[in-house]
Structure 1
Amino acid sequence: MNKLLLLGLATLFFTFSLTAQETEESEESENPVEDQFTRIIEGSNDYQGYKVVDYNDLVKLKQTTANFITSLNNEIVTQDNTIDQQQKEILQLKKDLNSTQDNLKEVTAEKDAITFLGMPFSKGTYMALMWGIVAILVLFLLFFIFQFKKGHVQTTEARNNLIETEKEFEDFKAKSLVKEQRLGRLLQDERNKASDR
Protein backbone atom coordinates (compact mmCIF):
# COMPACT_ATOMS: atom_id res chain seq x y z
CA MET A 1 0.00 0.00 0.00
CA ASN A 2 2.85 2.33 0.81
CA LYS A 3 4.31 1.47 -2.52
CA LEU A 4 1.07 2.34 -4.23
CA LEU A 5 0.85 5.62 -2.33
CA LEU A 6 4.43 6.47 -3.24
CA LEU A 7 3.75 5.50 -6.81
CA GLY A 8 0.61 7.70 -6.87
CA LEU A 9 2.48 10.66 -5.36
CA ALA A 10 5.34 10.21 -7.79
CA THR A 11 2.87 10.05 -10.67
CA LEU A 12 1.05 13.14 -9.41
CA PHE A 13 4.32 15.05 -8.98
CA PHE A 14 5.50 13.95 -12.42
CA THR A 15 2.14 14.95 -13.96
CA PHE A 16 2.30 18.43 -12.43
CA SER A 17 5.82 18.94 -13.69
CA LEU A 18 4.76 17.70 -17.14
CA THR A 19 1.75 20.02 -17.09
CA ALA A 20 3.96 23.00 -16.31
CA GLN A 21 6.32 21.99 -19.11
CA GLU A 22 3.36 21.42 -21.45
CA THR A 23 2.05 24.90 -20.77
CA GLU A 24 5.40 26.48 -21.59
CA GLU A 25 6.04 24.28 -24.63
CA SER A 26 2.48 24.52 -25.99
CA GLU A 27 2.89 28.27 -26.25
CA GLU A 28 6.04 27.80 -28.28
CA SER A 29 4.87 24.87 -30.46
CA GLU A 30 2.93 25.20 -33.68
CA ASN A 31 0.99 22.01 -33.00
CA PRO A 32 0.38 21.84 -29.25
CA VAL A 33 -1.97 18.85 -29.56
CA GLU A 34 0.68 16.61 -31.06
CA ASP A 35 3.24 17.77 -28.51
CA GLN A 36 0.82 17.12 -25.64
CA PHE A 37 0.00 13.64 -26.98
CA THR A 38 3.71 12.88 -27.15
CA ARG A 39 4.26 14.10 -23.58
CA ILE A 40 1.30 12.16 -22.23
CA ILE A 41 2.48 8.96 -23.92
CA GLU A 42 6.06 9.47 -22.82
CA GLY A 43 5.01 10.46 -19.28
CA SER A 44 2.51 7.66 -18.76
CA ASN A 45 3.27 4.74 -16.48
CA ASP A 46 3.14 1.09 -17.39
CA TYR A 47 0.82 -1.05 -15.35
CA GLN A 48 0.37 -4.71 -16.22
CA GLY A 49 0.95 -4.11 -19.94
CA TYR A 50 -1.24 -1.01 -20.04
CA LYS A 51 -0.35 2.64 -20.09
CA VAL A 52 -1.72 4.56 -17.16
CA VAL A 53 -2.57 8.16 -18.06
CA ASP A 54 -3.64 10.80 -15.60
CA TYR A 55 -7.27 11.86 -16.04
CA ASN A 56 -6.37 15.55 -15.65
CA ASP A 57 -3.88 15.20 -18.50
CA LEU A 58 -6.63 13.77 -20.72
CA VAL A 59 -8.98 16.63 -19.80
CA LYS A 60 -6.23 19.15 -20.60
CA LEU A 61 -5.53 17.33 -23.88
CA LYS A 62 -9.22 17.51 -24.76
CA GLN A 63 -9.31 21.23 -23.94
CA THR A 64 -6.08 21.86 -25.86
CA THR A 65 -7.46 19.95 -28.86
CA ALA A 66 -10.72 21.92 -28.79
CA ASN A 67 -8.83 25.20 -28.50
CA PHE A 68 -6.48 24.19 -31.31
CA ILE A 69 -9.42 23.21 -33.58
CA THR A 70 -11.18 26.49 -32.78
CA SER A 71 -7.96 28.37 -33.50
CA LEU A 72 -7.57 26.52 -36.81
CA ASN A 73 -11.21 27.21 -37.74
CA ASN A 74 -10.73 30.91 -36.91
CA GLU A 75 -7.57 30.95 -38.98
CA ILE A 76 -9.41 29.25 -41.87
CA VAL A 77 -12.19 31.85 -41.68
CA THR A 78 -9.60 34.63 -41.54
CA GLN A 79 -7.72 33.15 -44.50
CA ASP A 80 -10.99 32.73 -46.45
CA ASN A 81 -11.87 36.36 -45.74
CA THR A 82 -8.38 37.41 -46.78
CA ILE A 83 -8.64 35.35 -49.99
CA ASP A 84 -12.08 36.85 -50.74
CA GLN A 85 -10.74 40.34 -50.12
CA GLN A 86 -7.69 39.69 -52.29
CA GLN A 87 -9.87 38.27 -55.08
CA LYS A 88 -12.05 41.39 -54.92
CA GLU A 89 -8.93 43.53 -55.06
CA ILE A 90 -7.62 41.48 -57.99
CA LEU A 91 -10.92 41.92 -59.86
CA GLN A 92 -10.88 45.65 -59.14
CA LEU A 93 -7.26 45.89 -60.27
CA LYS A 94 -8.12 44.00 -63.47
CA LYS A 95 -11.00 46.43 -64.11
CA ASP A 96 -8.69 49.35 -63.42
CA LEU A 97 -6.05 47.85 -65.72
CA ASN A 98 -8.59 47.35 -68.53
CA SER A 99 -9.86 50.89 -68.04
CA THR A 100 -6.32 52.23 -68.06
CA GLN A 101 -5.49 50.26 -71.22
CA ASP A 102 -8.65 51.58 -72.92
CA ASN A 103 -7.73 55.12 -71.88
CA LEU A 104 -4.20 54.57 -73.15
CA LYS A 105 -5.55 53.37 -76.52
CA GLU A 106 -7.80 56.44 -76.75
CA VAL A 107 -4.98 58.80 -75.82
CA THR A 108 -2.63 57.09 -78.28
CA ALA A 109 -5.27 57.30 -81.02
CA GLU A 110 -5.88 60.98 -80.21
CA LYS A 111 -2.14 61.63 -80.14
CA ASP A 112 -1.68 59.89 -83.47
CA ALA A 113 -4.73 61.60 -85.02
CA ILE A 114 -4.55 65.03 -86.64
CA THR A 115 -7.62 67.04 -87.55
CA PHE A 116 -7.40 68.62 -90.99
CA LEU A 117 -10.33 70.51 -92.49
CA GLY A 118 -12.54 69.15 -89.69
CA MET A 119 -11.72 65.52 -90.48
CA PRO A 120 -9.54 63.29 -88.27
CA PHE A 121 -6.56 61.66 -89.95
CA SER A 122 -3.88 59.36 -88.63
CA LYS A 123 -0.38 60.77 -88.74
CA GLY A 124 0.59 58.49 -91.61
CA THR A 125 -2.45 59.46 -93.68
CA TYR A 126 -1.94 63.14 -92.85
CA MET A 127 1.71 62.98 -93.87
CA ALA A 128 0.82 61.17 -97.10
CA LEU A 129 -1.88 63.78 -97.83
CA MET A 130 0.48 66.69 -97.13
CA TRP A 131 3.28 65.23 -99.26
CA GLY A 132 0.73 64.50 -101.99
CA ILE A 133 -0.42 68.15 -101.92
CA VAL A 134 3.21 69.33 -101.96
CA ALA A 135 3.96 67.02 -104.92
CA ILE A 136 0.91 68.32 -106.81
CA LEU A 137 1.91 71.93 -106.10
CA VAL A 138 5.48 71.23 -107.26
CA LEU A 139 4.10 69.66 -110.45
CA PHE A 140 1.90 72.73 -111.02
CA LEU A 141 4.87 75.00 -110.35
CA LEU A 142 7.02 73.05 -112.83
CA PHE A 143 4.17 73.16 -115.38
CA PHE A 144 3.76 76.94 -114.97
CA ILE A 145 7.53 77.49 -115.15
CA PHE A 146 7.63 75.41 -118.35
CA GLN A 147 4.66 77.36 -119.76
CA PHE A 148 6.26 80.65 -118.73
CA LYS A 149 9.55 79.73 -120.42
CA LYS A 150 7.69 78.53 -123.49
CA GLY A 151 5.66 81.77 -123.54
CA HIS A 152 8.79 83.81 -122.93
CA VAL A 153 10.55 82.11 -125.85
CA GLN A 154 7.51 82.69 -128.05
CA THR A 155 7.27 86.31 -126.92
CA THR A 156 10.98 86.84 -127.60
CA GLU A 157 10.58 85.28 -131.05
CA ALA A 158 7.53 87.45 -131.71
CA ARG A 159 9.40 90.59 -130.62
CA ASN A 160 12.38 89.66 -132.79
CA ASN A 161 10.03 88.97 -135.71
CA LEU A 162 8.30 92.30 -135.06
CA ILE A 163 11.61 94.13 -134.98
CA GLU A 164 12.68 92.43 -138.20
CA THR A 165 9.32 93.18 -139.78
CA GLU A 166 9.55 96.82 -138.64
CA LYS A 167 13.05 97.02 -140.10
CA GLU A 168 11.85 95.46 -143.34
CA PHE A 169 8.89 97.83 -143.32
CA GLU A 170 11.16 100.82 -142.71
CA ASP A 171 13.41 99.61 -145.52
CA PHE A 172 10.37 99.08 -147.74
CA LYS A 173 9.04 102.50 -146.75
CA ALA A 174 12.40 104.09 -147.51
CA LYS A 175 12.62 102.26 -150.82
CA SER A 176 9.04 103.16 -151.59
CA LEU A 177 9.73 106.79 -150.76
CA VAL A 178 12.81 106.77 -152.97
CA LYS A 179 10.83 105.06 -155.69
CA GLU A 180 7.93 107.48 -155.24
CA GLN A 181 10.30 110.42 -155.41
CA ARG A 182 11.93 109.00 -158.52
CA LEU A 183 8.57 108.33 -160.09
CA GLY A 184 7.44 111.81 -159.05
CA ARG A 185 10.50 113.29 -160.77
CA LEU A 186 9.88 111.21 -163.84
CA LEU A 187 6.30 112.33 -163.88
CA GLN A 188 7.33 115.91 -163.43
CA ASP A 189 9.90 115.52 -166.16
CA GLU A 190 7.26 114.07 -168.44
CA ARG A 191 4.87 116.87 -167.57
CA ASN A 192 7.57 119.38 -168.20
CA LYS A 193 8.31 117.75 -171.55
CA ALA A 194 4.65 117.72 -172.36
CA SER A 195 4.17 121.33 -171.50
CA ASP A 196 7.25 122.29 -173.55
CA ARG A 197 5.88 120.84 -176.70
Structure 2
Amino acid sequence: MSTAPMPPSNHPHWNAGSPGGPFPPPPPTTPRRRRHRQPRRTRSSTRSRPCPSACRPVPTSAASTFDAPATHRYTGEEWDRAKEKAEQSGVPIEADLTYQNTLEGYLSLRNGRNAAQLQPTDASETAADCARAARVGGFTESAMSTWDLPAKTVLCVLTDKGNIARVVITDFIGGNPQSSIAPPTQIALEVTLWKPGT
Protein backbone atom coordinates (compact mmCIF):
# COMPACT_ATOMS: atom_id res chain seq x y z
CA MET A 1 0.00 0.00 0.00
CA SER A 2 1.37 3.38 -0.98
CA THR A 3 1.54 6.37 1.32
CA ALA A 4 2.07 8.86 -1.48
CA PRO A 5 -0.15 11.93 -1.54
CA MET A 6 -3.27 11.70 -3.62
CA PRO A 7 -3.31 13.61 -6.89
CA PRO A 8 -5.55 16.68 -7.09
CA SER A 9 -9.15 16.05 -8.06
CA ASN A 10 -11.27 17.91 -10.55
CA HIS A 11 -14.21 17.88 -8.17
CA PRO A 12 -14.95 21.43 -6.92
CA HIS A 13 -15.18 20.45 -3.24
CA TRP A 14 -12.12 18.30 -3.09
CA ASN A 15 -8.78 19.84 -2.27
CA ALA A 16 -10.18 23.32 -2.07
CA GLY A 17 -7.59 24.60 0.30
CA SER A 18 -7.43 21.79 2.82
CA PRO A 19 -4.77 19.17 2.40
CA GLY A 20 -6.33 15.75 2.28
CA GLY A 21 -9.79 16.99 3.35
CA PRO A 22 -12.96 17.29 1.29
CA PHE A 23 -14.11 20.63 2.72
CA PRO A 24 -12.55 24.06 2.61
CA PRO A 25 -11.21 25.50 5.83
CA PRO A 26 -13.57 27.75 7.74
CA PRO A 27 -13.29 31.46 6.99
CA PRO A 28 -11.14 33.43 9.40
CA THR A 29 -13.01 34.97 12.31
CA THR A 30 -12.28 38.11 14.15
CA PRO A 31 -12.03 37.78 17.91
CA ARG A 32 -15.18 38.94 19.71
CA ARG A 33 -15.05 41.35 22.54
CA ARG A 34 -16.95 40.19 25.57
CA ARG A 35 -19.09 42.71 27.30
CA HIS A 36 -18.95 42.63 31.02
CA ARG A 37 -22.35 43.31 32.50
CA GLN A 38 -22.46 45.48 35.52
CA PRO A 39 -24.54 44.05 38.36
CA ARG A 40 -27.97 45.57 38.50
CA ARG A 41 -28.28 48.27 41.04
CA THR A 42 -31.44 48.48 43.03
CA ARG A 43 -32.76 51.81 44.08
CA SER A 44 -34.14 52.29 47.49
CA SER A 45 -36.68 55.01 47.61
CA THR A 46 -38.92 56.41 50.27
CA ARG A 47 -41.38 57.64 47.68
CA SER A 48 -44.52 55.57 47.56
CA ARG A 49 -45.39 54.05 44.25
CA PRO A 50 -48.91 53.18 43.20
CA CYS A 51 -49.76 49.66 44.15
CA PRO A 52 -50.95 47.41 41.31
CA SER A 53 -54.30 45.77 41.89
CA ALA A 54 -52.61 42.48 42.76
CA CYS A 55 -51.16 43.88 45.99
CA ARG A 56 -54.23 45.74 47.23
CA PRO A 57 -56.10 44.12 50.12
CA VAL A 58 -58.76 41.72 48.97
CA PRO A 59 -62.18 41.97 50.62
CA THR A 60 -62.36 39.17 53.14
CA SER A 61 -65.69 39.98 54.74
CA ALA A 62 -69.13 40.80 53.44
CA ALA A 63 -72.09 42.04 55.44
CA SER A 64 -75.68 41.89 54.18
CA THR A 65 -78.50 43.92 55.63
CA PHE A 66 -81.92 42.65 54.64
CA ASP A 67 -84.10 45.42 56.14
CA ALA A 68 -82.67 48.01 53.75
CA PRO A 69 -81.27 45.63 51.15
CA ALA A 70 -77.55 46.25 50.93
CA THR A 71 -74.29 44.36 50.93
CA HIS A 72 -70.97 45.85 51.92
CA ARG A 73 -67.54 44.32 51.36
CA TYR A 74 -64.70 44.83 53.80
CA THR A 75 -61.03 43.93 54.00
CA GLY A 76 -60.08 42.20 57.24
CA GLU A 77 -58.75 45.49 58.60
CA GLU A 78 -61.89 47.44 57.62
CA TRP A 79 -64.12 44.80 59.23
CA ASP A 80 -62.13 44.95 62.47
CA ARG A 81 -62.46 48.76 62.51
CA ALA A 82 -66.23 48.55 61.86
CA LYS A 83 -66.67 46.11 64.76
CA GLU A 84 -64.53 48.25 67.05
CA LYS A 85 -66.49 51.39 66.12
CA ALA A 86 -69.78 49.58 66.81
CA GLU A 87 -68.54 48.45 70.23
CA GLN A 88 -67.32 51.95 71.16
CA SER A 89 -70.47 53.73 70.00
CA GLY A 90 -72.91 51.14 71.30
CA VAL A 91 -74.62 51.13 67.89
CA PRO A 92 -74.58 47.58 66.49
CA ILE A 93 -73.46 46.77 62.98
CA GLU A 94 -76.57 46.82 60.81
CA ALA A 95 -75.73 43.57 59.02
CA ASP A 96 -78.02 40.60 59.50
CA LEU A 97 -75.70 38.03 57.91
CA THR A 98 -71.92 38.16 57.47
CA TYR A 99 -69.45 36.08 55.54
CA GLN A 100 -65.80 36.09 56.48
CA ASN A 101 -63.63 34.51 53.81
CA THR A 102 -60.91 33.29 56.12
CA LEU A 103 -59.45 29.81 56.32
CA GLU A 104 -62.81 28.33 57.37
CA GLY A 105 -65.10 30.89 55.72
CA TYR A 106 -67.77 31.57 58.35
CA LEU A 107 -71.30 32.49 57.25
CA SER A 108 -72.73 33.93 60.46
CA LEU A 109 -75.96 35.38 61.75
CA ARG A 110 -75.40 38.59 63.73
CA ASN A 111 -76.62 38.95 67.31
CA GLY A 112 -80.25 40.02 67.72
CA ARG A 113 -81.46 37.99 64.75
CA ASN A 114 -82.98 34.52 64.52
CA ALA A 115 -82.71 32.13 61.58
CA ALA A 116 -83.51 28.62 60.43
CA GLN A 117 -81.80 26.59 57.74
CA LEU A 118 -84.15 24.77 55.37
CA GLN A 119 -83.19 22.11 52.87
CA PRO A 120 -84.01 22.90 49.23
CA THR A 121 -86.54 20.05 49.11
CA ASP A 122 -88.70 21.26 52.01
CA ALA A 123 -88.32 25.04 51.74
CA SER A 124 -91.71 26.68 51.53
CA GLU A 125 -91.94 29.98 49.66
CA THR A 126 -94.67 31.57 51.79
CA ALA A 127 -94.08 34.38 54.28
CA ALA A 128 -95.99 32.56 57.05
CA ASP A 129 -93.93 29.35 56.74
CA CYS A 130 -90.65 31.25 56.60
CA ALA A 131 -91.63 33.38 59.63
CA ARG A 132 -92.57 30.26 61.62
CA ALA A 133 -89.24 28.58 60.78
CA ALA A 134 -87.26 31.74 61.59
CA ARG A 135 -88.90 32.05 65.01
CA VAL A 136 -87.98 28.45 65.82
CA GLY A 137 -84.39 29.21 64.72
CA GLY A 138 -81.50 26.78 64.79
CA PHE A 139 -79.02 28.47 62.45
CA THR A 140 -76.26 30.65 63.88
CA GLU A 141 -73.26 30.01 61.65
CA SER A 142 -71.66 27.56 59.26
CA ALA A 143 -68.02 26.97 58.39
CA MET A 144 -68.18 27.07 54.60
CA SER A 145 -64.85 25.22 54.28
CA THR A 146 -66.89 22.06 54.97
CA TRP A 147 -69.28 22.97 52.12
CA ASP A 148 -72.25 21.80 54.25
CA LEU A 149 -74.64 24.39 52.78
CA PRO A 150 -75.28 23.38 49.18
CA ALA A 151 -76.60 25.74 46.52
CA LYS A 152 -80.37 26.29 46.86
CA THR A 153 -80.19 26.07 50.67
CA VAL A 154 -82.75 28.43 52.19
CA LEU A 155 -82.27 30.50 55.33
CA CYS A 156 -85.33 32.11 56.88
CA VAL A 157 -84.16 35.09 58.90
CA LEU A 158 -86.03 37.19 61.46
CA THR A 159 -84.16 40.51 61.32
CA ASP A 160 -83.53 42.88 64.23
CA LYS A 161 -86.27 45.16 62.83
CA GLY A 162 -88.88 42.34 62.88
CA ASN A 163 -88.88 41.66 59.11
CA ILE A 164 -88.72 38.19 57.59
CA ALA A 165 -86.12 37.47 54.90
CA ARG A 166 -86.07 34.34 52.79
CA VAL A 167 -82.43 33.98 51.73
CA VAL A 168 -81.52 31.46 49.03
CA ILE A 169 -77.89 30.54 48.36
CA THR A 170 -77.81 30.61 44.57
CA ASP A 171 -74.14 30.12 43.78
CA PHE A 172 -70.58 29.93 45.07
CA ILE A 173 -67.74 31.84 43.47
CA GLY A 174 -64.21 30.53 43.88
CA GLY A 175 -63.04 28.05 46.47
CA ASN A 176 -62.62 24.30 46.13
CA PRO A 177 -65.16 21.82 47.55
CA GLN A 178 -62.48 19.09 47.47
CA SER A 179 -60.29 20.99 49.96
CA SER A 180 -61.00 21.61 53.63
CA ILE A 181 -59.15 24.94 53.55
CA ALA A 182 -60.60 26.53 50.41
CA PRO A 183 -64.05 27.96 51.17
CA PRO A 184 -65.80 29.98 48.47
CA THR A 185 -64.48 33.51 48.01
CA GLN A 186 -68.05 34.78 47.52
CA ILE A 187 -71.56 33.48 48.09
CA ALA A 188 -74.38 34.66 45.82
CA LEU A 189 -77.72 35.18 47.57
CA GLU A 190 -81.29 35.83 46.45
CA VAL A 191 -83.39 37.56 49.09
CA THR A 192 -87.15 38.00 49.46
CA LEU A 193 -88.20 40.36 52.26
CA TRP A 194 -91.58 40.52 54.00
CA LYS A 195 -92.38 43.34 56.38
CA PRO A 196 -95.00 42.87 59.13
CA GLY A 197 -98.51 43.48 57.84
CA THR A 198 -97.68 42.74 54.20
Same fold (TM over 0.5): no
Max radius of gyration: which structure?
1
- Structure possessing the higher relative contact order (Cα contacts under 8 Å, 6 or more residues apart): 2
Q: What is the TM-score normalised by the length of structure 2?
A: 0.17
Q: What is the TM-score normalised by the length of structure 1?
A: 0.17
Higher strand share: 2
